[in-house]
Structure 1
Amino acid sequence: MTVSPVDLAAEFPPGSRERWRELALGVLRKSGFEGGDPEDALSSRTYDGIEIAPLYDRLPTAPRVLRPGTGWDVRQRHAHPDPAVTREAIQADLENGVTSIWLDLTSLDPAALPAVLDGVYLDLAPVILDAGPRTEQAATIFLELAAGTALAGGNLGAGPLAPGLAELVRRCVAEQPAVMAVTVDALPYHDAGAGDAVELGCSIAAGVAGLRALTDAGISAEQAFGQLEFRYAATADQFLTVAKFRAARRLWARVAEVCGVPGAAQRQHAVTSSAMMTARDPWVNMLRTTLACFGAGVGGADAVTVQPFDAVLGLPDGFARRIARNTQSLLVEEAGVARVSDPAGGSWYVENLTADLAERAWSWFQEIERAGGLAAAAETLIPARLAKTREARARDVARRKSPITGVSEFPNLTERAVVREPGPGLPAAPGRVRYAAEFEALRDQADARPQRPLVFLATIGPVAVHTARASFAANLFAAGGIATVTSGPGVDPAALAEAFRDAGTPVACICSSDRLYGEHAEAVAAALRAAGARRIWLAGKGEYAGVDDTIRVGGDALDALRKTFADLGIDVKGDSDEHS
């Protein structure tokens, strides 16, 4: 029997860009849009200046660079300073879905490698070393430990400009051809505030610097390309993460083509972002890392590390490690994300975002090269660019344009603290900017007070009228660890002032509708001032006699919280270590 194909759009009239613009404009006008281009109104820009359009109707002409094969390597990081504890954790991971081990030796003596890896089948489970200045020592011990065994893969973890790099590469080529010697780690750029294009450009510059160092030492270009693995951050912005890993392969393919090694694939290791992790309400980190893992997998990363949800707090416990590896197992085995080589291929949005990101990253890479290469650019050019992006992101976080669930939005003042053993829960990154750090520093100070700081909400009018702005104000103050108490419905200034005196706080915030503000705000402000209010906020916009300042959507929440701390007699301490 022959079945005719079904045209799923047969019942709909043909669409056009102009028709879409007309419909979009109609919706925008209902929201107060007064005219102009609806595409401009609905567009946004990344921290690298790439425009995110609301509508895409074409594919770019640049070729796709696919990762061969499907699936990815489930890689777990281990950093506990006790060899016995690390060995036990490694065994548990390998027995429950992890396929390779990332050993962070910053707090573990490389001499303990034989004990840590006792019982690990090195011909089945690749090991990735991360030993910093002790890389040569760790690599030597590891290669001696593996003598006589054909390793399944792995990486010695040397930086692209590390001393003794060429000798490590020669040993890998001669003794363990499945093992790479070099990790091009872009995480420090991301953690210091870089946007995706800057992170990519810096990584390509670092990779090229490594190629130069190896070929200058007599290593062939083909061998040099085979010795580099790139480590990138995956964030909760899943589409940018997908595009970043696709763009990275395209950029490295261009480098390989120029170097006369066409077809040399980029080996990618994705690590869920440390900068996006929170100490407060850490359970939300599970959602962030799931999105990041999904983006990295769809983007084609060869290996993915999902950081445990409690990593900010210290050394992760067994439950957090289990959740981290199960996140990947669910995406790979049950969701089937790894069954398609390029799930995002053909998406107009993702293909254009990939092309734009690659173009912007390549321009940044060329700028680094013109400055004299990575080493020269690291002195001023790169720090200046990182600082610019870091400041822009900090403004968005402070204004909650980039909200952090559980911290700057929907904080829970009654949450039970999650305590972990001190230690390197996150990979080391001097100068890391953790987005939630400034809000969390205020929460810490508020929690340390004998009594929780308090702000009085003068709610004018019935509950249905003042609830929206009262909830907004309570949410904002809670982001700094400040509790609120409301007056209840009413419009009598004297009654509101009496309730304010009973609350025992010098700070008040008036909450109601614009109409009732016009009728009552000034009288209520005068009564609150007479009752001893040191500062009077108003939730919303507008200027009224007696009101000191406003809190509103898009306003600087951190500034408002710091002012409130000062009014409450609390000295605002410096930012947390992670934000310094």
Structure 2
Amino acid sequence: MTNQTTEAAMTRVATSFAADFATATEDDWRAAAEAALKGRPLESVIRHRTMDGVAVAAIRPRSAPSPIPGRAPGSRWIALSRIDIADPAAANEQALEDLNNGASGLALAFLTPGDGHGVAADTLDRLDQALDGVLLDLAPLYLEVVPFEGRAAAALVAALIERRGIAPSDTYICFGLDLLRDLARTGTLPRSWSDMGGRAAGVVQGLRARGFTGPVFSIDARVSHGAGATDVQELAGAIASATEHVRALVANGVDLETAADAMSFAFSCDADQFATIAKLRAARLLWAAWRRESGLPERTVHIHAETSRRMMSERAAHTNLVRTTIAAFAAGVGGADSITVRPFTDALGAADADARRLARNAQAIILEESNAHRVADPAAGAGAIDGLTDALAETAWMLFQQIERDGGLLQALTSGSWQARIADARARRRSAAATRRSPVVGVSEFPEAGETLHVPPSPPHVSRLPQVVPIAGEIGEDVAGFDALVAAFLNGSSFADVRAASASNPSVSATPLDLERVAAPFERLRATNEAATPRPAVYLALVGPIARHSARAGFVRNLLVAGGLTAIDGPAGATTEANVAAWTESGATLAIVCGADDGYAETGPDLVAALAAAGATVWLAGRPKEGAEALSSAGVSRFVAAGDDALAVLHDATTLASAQNAPALGGVS
């Protein structure tokens, strides 16, 4: 059968198959959706505004497909496995296991002194051991470097490539430098910005002279993301940071095109699927516009994506598997060139073999089963995503221009204006989490009572220090200094020796960005209360039979579990006298009345007054449409309902409940 005959037959089959489906108009779809929502307005579901004020319309007409140039059509993204085990031998074992079971590259995290997370690859021998058996001409590397030690890490890796006799041009290594990221993390530059620019130029020139072609810089928006930044702030900050770095390189003798080509970007991807897809696509549009404005030819840029740590939870940690899978899929569809999936136990501070296997397999399944990589820009032509992409890019470009008018990102960091922008976004994000407009499943919503945290054991740390091999003289900031570093590592020197030979003269400071997971405030409170002896408890006065009080009682119980407080159920449908007796026996100081509005109207004021007269602080679940004034007059000091600042409610409940006597735990629920 000829190709033409086969194509004709397939067309007939497709046409016949499509004819089996009724043609639906947008009005038909809206009518069906509204029926499914049972009266909830459809517009509130399909339209909203982001924290940046960008309008999001979930339903838009199909747009003309116009793929955004990025990863080559049909090519897989690099599925990176994060290697961060301190012991080089254990790290090597993990690296080989991952590469042999689905990973196509490694994200090598260097050990931060005093941190414990990362590979202790601080000498050439240790790095060689950590990467023993890894074919560096086949497996790409993405370096996660210690603040301001990117030059040393780059020189160490260059020394390893030289030791192994591999042609640098046969490797693909993202060296991971970002001076402004490091400033935002630590609050201090070790030398002046001019000196740091010279040092960075030396790295670029040294690596290019040796034949390395991978990006030297990874302009890293993950720190801003972790501090609470919006999508637009991440994008604008990344472009502004790249601009500062390119200027610094050019000022130190690197030509503009080489400086721009040395850039790549790193973004966090989270479980907001469409926003993540649009953010990565917008990043490509922004960098393409930047190159045009700079008079440079079009060239795609490497974009690395890592699943967001900000969205991870300690509690109900397996829910992280859902979040990271959605995020990784979105990053792949959004055109990321490389992706790292954090293990689901990451928020607990460690990852065992199972957690690492699941992180690795998430990408393997997405690649093999979704086949999203086989299409050039899968989102192109989807009106909603195209519209969001354009809106993010336009809004981020305007913010970038504002940053430039105000003196650039370095000035914004040292003045604190950039941190203030992010702090405002973080406050709004925390408010959304606290009021559960942005709930965290397993933490602020549907928490598991009695959950025990199973923290994976941390791998052994490396205590033995490398032999001291002093470096003669001070290491210069230029390309000769970079070459001297490579030679020093080949001679056996360590990162500690490099630090000793690199004079520090801090002259630039900034307030470090404060990183925090969204779930952390709830988790801190819960951990504190669960560790307390006695554990704070709250008495629930149940009004009426189960069918009448179960909804609000369930709401209150879940709320209390989210804060680590114990709920002590009173007798269902009991008399006022029995409730007061049960409250007295419980030892609690706080009582929350739970029932239906009609039950509140009938017996609520008497019950509230009796509990208050006995000494209880009385709250009530819900906001009755009628009778609220009478209940308040009887002694209700707070109405607890959906939409409240749940975190504030829990803190206040903790304060009151902590004054209790030892509760009778027989009625704990």
CA distance in 2, matches of 1:41, 1:546: 39
Partner of 2:333: 298
Determine whether 1:546 maps to 2:635: yes
Q: Deviation digits for residues 325-376 of structure 1, max 9, x if unmatched?
A: 1110110112323222222211111111111111111111111111111101
Partner of 1:135: 150
What secondary structure is seen at the aligned counterpart in 2 of 1:102?
strand
Cα distance, 1:26–1:115 mapped onto 2, change above 3 Å:
closer
Number of the residue aligned with 2:235: 200
Letter in 2 for 1:450: T
Q: Deviations over 1:160-195 (max 9, x none)?
A: 565511121122222233332111111111011101
Counterpart amino acid of residue 582 in structure 2: A
User: CA-to-partner distance for each residue in 1:419-454, whole Å, 9 max, x for gaps?
Assistant: 2345999xxx95102111111111111111223322
Q: Closer, same or farther in 2 for the Cα pair 1:30/1:96, shift >3 Å?
A: closer
Is it true that 1:375 corresponds to 2:410 in the alignment?
Answer: yes
| Shift in alpha-carbon separation, 1:424–1:182, aligned structure 2, 3 A | farther
Contact 1:172 1:179 in 2 (8 A): no
Matched, 1:116 2:146: no
Aligned to 1:158: 177
From the superposition, tell whether residues 23 and 74 of structure 1 become closer, same or farther in structure 2 (CA, over 3 Å): closer
Q: Does the 8 A contact of 1:466 with 1:511 survive in 2?
A: yes
Q: Once structures 1 and 2 are overlaid, which stretch shifts more, 311-320 or 397-406?
A: 311-320
Deviation at 1:63, TM superposition (A): 7.2
3-state SS, counterpart of residue 658 of structure 2? coil
Shift of 1:382: 1.1
Moved more, 352-361 or 513-522: 513-522
CA-to-aligned-CA distance 1:68-90 (integer Å, 9 cap, x gap): 23321011222222222222221
The answer to which of 204-213 and 271-280 deviates more is: 204-213
CA 291–27 in structure 1, closer or farther in 2 if over 3 Å, else same: closer
Counterpart check, 1:403 vs 2:403: no
Call closer, same or farther: CA 1:60–1:333 in 2, change over 3 Å: closer
Aligned mates of 2:331, 2:212 — CA distance in 1? 27
CA distance in 2 between counterparts of 1:95 and 1:430 reads: 38
Give the distance between the partners of 2:610 and 2:393, measured in 1 at CA.
60
Deviation larger for 454-463 or 486-495:
486-495
The residue that corresponds to 2:108 in the other structure is 103
Task: Report the Cα distance in structure 1 between the residues aligned to 2:175 and 2:441, rounded to whole angstroms.
Answer: 37
Q: Write the mapping of 1:132-281 to structure 2, written as runs, cut at 5 A.
A: 132-147=147-162, 148-150=165-167, 151-159=170-178, 162-163=196-197, 164-281=199-316
Q: In structure 2, do the counterparts of structure 1 residues 217 and 284 end up closer, same or farther at CA, with 3 Å as the change threshold?
A: same
Cα distance in 2 between the residues matched to 1:241 and 1:424: 36
Does the aligned pair in 2 maintain the 1:39–1:53 contact within 8 Å?
no
Distance 1:118 1:535, change over 3 A: same
How far apart, CA to CA, are the structure 2 residues paired with 1:388 and 1:280?
27
Q: Is the 8 A contact 1:131 1:157 kept in 2?
A: no
CA distance in 2, matches of 1:538, 1:475: 12
Per the TM alignment, residue 255 of structure 1 is displaced from its structure 2 partner at its CA by: 0.8
Measured in 2, the distance between the counterparts of 1:503 and 1:245 equals 55
Write the mapping of 1:74-113 to structure 2, written as runs, cut at 5 A: 74-107=79-112, 108-111=120-123, 112-113=126-127
Distance 1:423 1:251, change over 3 A: farther
- Structure 1: which amino acid aligns with 2:161? A
Rg larger in structure:
2
Report SS of the residue matched to 2:327: helix
State how far apart, in whole Å, the 1-side matches of 2:320 and 2:45 are.
32
Does the C-alpha gap of structure 1 residues 61 and 94 become closer, same or farther in structure 2, counting only changes over 3 Å? closer
Using the alignment, how far apart are the partners of 2:121 and 2:254 within structure 1? 31
SS in 2 for 1:180: coil
Distance 1:488 1:338 in 2: 59
What RMSD over aligned residues (CA atoms) do the two structures have, in Å?
Answer: 2.7
Residue 141 of structure 2 aligns with an amino acid whose one-letter code is V
- Range that drifts further, 433-442 or 527-536: 527-536
* Stretch deviating more after TM superposition (506-515 or 147-156): 147-156
The answer to whether the 8 Å contact 2:65/2:380 transfers is no
Kept in 1: contact 2:67–2:377 (CA 8 A): no
C-alpha displacement of 1:60: 8.3
Tell me: CA distance 1:438–1:60, structure 2 relative to 1, closer, same or farther (3 Å).
farther
- Structure 1 stretch displaced more, 288-297 or 84-93: 84-93
Q: 1:226 Cα deviation (Å)? A: 2.5
Contact 2:71/2:77 (CA < 8 Å) preserved in 1? no
For residue 14 of structure 1, report the CA deviation from its aligned partner.
Answer: 4.2
The CA deviation string for residues 539-572 of structure 1, in whole angstroms up to 9 with x for no partner, is: 344521311101111111111111111112269x
The residue correspondences of 1:330-345 to structure 2 (distance < 5 A) are 330-345=365-380
Q: Does 1:432 align with 2:432?
A: no
Secondary structure, aligned partner of 2:175: strand
Distance 2:111 2:623 in 1: 50
1:33-91 residue CA offsets vs partner (Å, 9 max, x unmatched): 7xxxx646863221111122353236389873443233210112222222222222212
Q: Secondary structure at the match of 2:448?
A: coil
Q: Does structure 2 retain, via aligned residues, the 8 Å contact 1:473–1:539?
A: no
Deviations 1:283-334 (A, max 9, x none): 1111111111011011010000000111122231111111111110110112
Name the SS for the 2:176 alignment partner.
strand
Deviation at 1:128, TM superposition (A): 2.2
- In structure 2, C-alpha distance between the alignment counterparts of 1:225 and 1:385, rounded to whole Å: 27
Query: Structure 2 residue aligned with 1:442, among 508, 514, 525?
Result: 525
Task: Indicate the larger mover: 493-502 or 518-527.
Answer: 493-502
TM norm structure 1: 0.90
The answer to whether the 8 A contact 1:72-1:303 is kept is: yes
Which residue among 31, 51, 64 is the counterpart of 2:68? 64
> Does the Cα contact within 8 Å between 1:313 and 1:422 map onto a contact in 2?
no
User: Which letter does structure 2 place at the counterpart of 1:86?
Assistant: A
1:567 partner letter: L
Total equivalences in the alignment: 561
Change (3 A) 1:263 1:8: farther
TM-score, normalising length: structure 2: 0.79
Task: Please say if 1:504 is aligned against 2:504.
Answer: no
Please say if 1:347 is aligned against 2:362: no
Question: Aligned residue for 1:525?
Answer: 608
Q: Which amino acid aligns with 1:547?
A: V
Asked if residue 328 in structure 1 is aligned to residue 366 in structure 2, the reply is no
Residues 446-495 of structure 1: per-residue CA shift (max 9 Å, x gap): 11122332212111112112111111110111100112122243152122
- Percent identity for Structure 1 against Structure 2: 37
Q: Distance in 1 between matches of 2:455 and 2:26?
A: 55
Q: Name structure 2 gaps, 5 residues minimum.
A: 1-7, 113-119, 181-195, 462-511, 661-669
Distance across 2 between alignment mates of 1:511 and 1:540:
11
Q: Could you tell me how far apart the structure 2 residues matched to 1:274 and 1:438 are?
A: 15
The answer for unaligned runs of 5 or more in structure 1 is 572-580
Matched residues in 2 for 1:564 and 1:523: separation? 23
How far apart, in 1, do the equivalents of 2:282 and 2:20 lie? 33
What are the Cα deviations for residues 211-261 of structure 1, in whole angstroms up to 9, with x where unaligned? Answer: 222233332333223221210000011110011111111111111112222
Give the counterpart letter for 1:536 in structure 2: W
- 2:449 aligned partner: 413
Which is bigger in relative contact order (C-alpha 8 A, separation at least 6)? Answer: 2
Q: CA 1:276–1:27 in structure 2 vs 1: closer, same or farther (change >3 Å)?
A: closer
1:386 aligns with 2:422: yes
1:28 to 1:353, Cα distance in 2 relative to 1, 3 A: same
Partner of 1:461: 544
What secondary structure sits across from 2:439 in the alignment? coil
